[in-house]
Amino acid sequence: MTATRRFLPGWLSSYATLYILFLYLPVIFLPIFSINTAATPKFPLSGITLHWYEDLPKTPALIDATWNSLIVGVSASILSTVLGILAARSITRYRYPGRRAINGLIMAPLVLPEVIVAISMLLVMLQLGLSLSLFTVVLGHVLICIPYSMTVLTSGFEGFDRSLEEASADLGESAFGTFRRVTLPMVAPAIISSLLVCFTISLDEFIIAFFLTGTEATLPIYIWGQLRFAAKLPGVLALGTLLLLASFVLMTIAEILRRRAARRTQNEGGLHA
């Protein structure tokens, strides 16, 4: 007993270290090779440079792709957050038959194979006679973003005490005033969090964008295209590093906000706090 206990901490920490290495080693390679002077990703590094980063803004195709990604990301995040607010509000506030089933169906795209979703969306778009463009990419991204948006918003709305809105009305506030002074401030962190999560997902998404876009490339598609040229690899790595960094920052902010929103609404229940 005591032997295992003495042995375990050491064993456990090496296990944990390996675990984290497995998860993050590939991620760490990206920034490391992006500052290598040589174009081939090989150790040892031949020298350190920010040259590849400096080249990025000088590539017009990359600028276009960035703009496309921003347009798609902003539109998809706003659309899926609005739809998410409506669904989350209904699912957390009201009790009606089929509530659980509807919730399940909304969350389902989370586990559907993305390639299949992309192909079926492509079929639908073609059937509808829509020509492929950034707009069709936005539609595809809304589909995959809604489950994430729902998760964030439901946790923000859950436990929202209905009597808070009643108390506001009771104190003389109008319906719009109540929304502005009580509902919005309480769920604002969740809404912002949902926007950030959806934006990040849309920014990084490749398969659906690849199938549904016409001639306009988003960032991941641009990256994929660049991979054909070995000489362009360091640029891709630099771009990838930046994307990684952006995603990480956005997701961290989103998670902090989501927790704050959940704490705000759920603390209300703790009467003996």
The contact set with other proteins (CB under 8 A) reads 161, 163-164, 166-174, 177, 181-182, 185-186, 264-265, 267-269, 271-273
What minimum distance in Å lies between the beta carbon of 256 and other proteins? 16
What minimum distance in Å lies between the beta carbon of 174 and other proteins? 6
Residue with smaller CB distance to other proteins, 90 or 183? 183
Residue with smaller CB distance to other proteins, 128 or 271? 271
What minimum distance in Å lies between the beta carbon of 95 and other proteins? 14
Distances (CA, A) of 17 to 7, 14, 26, 257: 16, 5, 15, 29
What minimum distance in Å lies between the beta carbon of 182 and other proteins? 6
Residue with smaller CB distance to other proteins, 9 or 172? 172
Residue with smaller CB distance to other proteins, 144 or 187? 187
What minimum distance in Å lies between the beta carbon of 153 and other proteins? 17
**CB distance 226 to 235 below 8 Å:** yes
Residue with smaller CB distance to other proteins, 122 or 164? 164
Residue with smaller CB distance to other proteins, 121 or 187? 187
**CB distance 219 to 239 below 8 Å:** yes
What minimum distance in Å lies between the beta carbon of 263 and other proteins? 8
